[in-house]
Chain A
């Protein structure tokens, strides 16, 4: 029997997911032996045309990381979907939109204005902006279209499984690859990490008081962070209650609070809304004015509660008319 064909592709991403694959070190060689990698832009020779020439459904699984920011990425993931039996959204960007998804607080126009005009090091007296098609000395050069809005992978194509994390931890990657190779897959649509909250696995949970109450929120720079104590019990925003576990609490191990890169559990669609409701129960006041004052001590709620999940939230993006 021939080996299953596997493809890797990156959209708007940082390369950290690819690095996570390289970090499998000795183990990656075992994976490479078991499969036939037919497409991996960073590591192997490829051409879009080669993928186009494959029979539909002939790739066993495509691992796609990054959010969808450019037309070229949309074309590529549509093509891979057609050619693949399974598509796995690999990492936070692909799963939820990720950090690049914070761009949905803005749009193409404001991003271009910043990058090519208002950044203080930019000198652009002729008002040049990168063009999708431009003739330079009689030579035509093209660039892909930059979309207004960043999308998670399943907002563009049908996705079978999600491998969460920024970047996904080693053990989850190995588990996922193992499950695919052995055909022991959970139902379609599953997030390949345990379905419980980070707090359930966190060592600091035992330091959380039975009734946790907060009078004032603290930012991580404002206090000496206790390395043993629950962050919320210290008044520091930690996304643990609204975030899925499986990350091995790596940030908390470094004495920094969770920012939610694993997204919510199965029961929750909107991670930010879930956190907000968890938070509401912690605020130690019945007085509306005082509640408002306490809430004011949270810096950047939208950018914190939706740090990794803005495109996949019920918000999706900011309405730009509202800014003007």
Chain B
């Protein structure tokens, strides 16, 4: 049964029956309300203090500072809460529970990860191997989390609309005092439109991030070697009518060139191979799509490389097309070492 619109929740052991989406949205609204209350009230107090107007009792001395402290606290708590909610929208509760349950079942990596001294210019894979998988050895981190974009838009929206609120207070007071400032009012209208667009865009991103759900990719071993055989476990959560879900292996060259005032970054995809594809299927809440597939890394391929201005970067790309959602693409970087038979130690 659909849980999305149930406004209450019940605790069932470790589970909760409420809607995670509704909870996240409600949490965000609550903190946003705190922020707006703090911002508007602060603007009112400052305005009253500056103009020495009689719109209400104007605190002074220690009372003023106490009021300011409270209002600033509301702003900080409200902003922090919205950002926190945005950051954790994509997090998987199952993932956190599985980590806690399986922490003692980890298999140690064999052999130990090679050192950077043995492989100059090959990036270290520390950040890619510090997250154990549920099914396979490692869970790969995503290159660009949707949460970061959410955070950026949230920050911009909060700041912008905070300014709009302050201006609104000033303009409203002017109108109420019978001395309307029409230029300020006109400016406020423009600013409000931008503010509303920012809010709308934030909620669109939020809906996409929560509706599509997190994607996770686990791999049986890391780093990778040319000619190596690996297992890849793909998980896609959400409530989606998938038209297509694909997993690709890609390699990009990146070069940065700086000349005078011009800086030029170029990326070129030099390898692309589809590993897996499935079409026309459903993903439901609590029933994520899971698939285990084989990956044979191409023999003779170039290893990962990173220098000051040039990079060879390998990655696994998950591409999905779902009904009523825009196509999405999530990238998981991997590190490829040179052929193992010809290693030496530094």
The answer to whether A and B come from one shared complex is no
